[in-house]
Amino acid sequence: MLEQEEKALCGRLESVRRRLDDAVRASGRKQEDVTLVAVSKFHPAAAVEALARLAGHAVFGESYVQEAQEKQQALAGLALSWHFIGHVQSRKARDVAGRFALVHTVDSEKLACKLHQAVQPPDGEQPEGARTVQDVLVQVNIGCEPQKSGVAAGDGLLRLADAVAGMSGLRLRGLMCMPPLTCQGEEARPYFAQLRGLRDSLEQRLGMRLPHLSMGMSHDFEQAVAEGATLVRVGTDIFGERSPR
């Protein structure tokens, strides 16, 4: 990247960091309570490298398996934490499991089983250096939108959470959601509050701590933080508009 482009990129990251810090303080929480996931999909590895090298940012989110793998290989020398935040097709589970610090988008028992089998294969063909337990979040279709992935709140969520919690190859860490696109800023807040309530109920049901709520993006992460988000996913306000895939 050109030096001017790198400076602009780091400047946008710093602006988001300031907004996030303000939101965390306003909610009475600590900075370490909320992690900024820089969503780097459709942006080059050079941009990720610049943010890591110049701004010390280390947590990045990807949505497409092949693109993520290419960046992981290109940036293997950097100590980065990769999160998978896109829809995972069951046939791609083997390419995702064990290769990301956190998978945000488990939305079916079929996918959960595939991820579990990939990190703990019965045939002993475990890739060297791969994880044997994959941390995951269950994605909730909080707005009940037919075009979106995610399990419906209610019995579907309870069944999926029970199933994931019982798989030794997976570690359930919390929930993820995306409110309807038409609901931005304060309009998104009720959805974030609902997800927090679902998480709290699941903790009691399962008898285990679920520390993470992945919610909030460029246009509404302040509201998400106010409602308890621990992971906010910001792409456009850091990297700029994405080129068509």
Name residue, tokens 């896109």. Answer: 86
Domains and CATH numbers, the chain: 3-239 (3.20.20.10)
Q: Which amino acid is at 178?
A: M
* 192 vs 126, more confident: 192
Per-residue confidence at 130, pLDDT binned at 50, 70, 90? low
Q: What are phi and psi of 76, to 5 degrees?
A: -60, -25
pTM of this structure: 0.94
Query: pLDDT grade, residue 126 (50/70/90)?
Result: low
| 177 bridge partner residues | 140
Structure tokens at 195: 């997800």
Contact 135, 169 (CB under 8 A): no
Q: How many CB atoms lie within 10 A of CB 193?
A: 15
Q: What is the SS3 assignment for 135?
A: strand
pLDDT at 244 over 60: no
DSSP 132: S
pLDDT value for 144: 87
Q: Can you give the pLDDT at residue 147?
A: 86
Per residue in 132-142, pLDDT tens?
899 999 999 99
pLDDT for 178-232, tens place per residue? 999 889 899 999 999 999 999 999 999 999 999 999 999 999 999 999 999 999 9
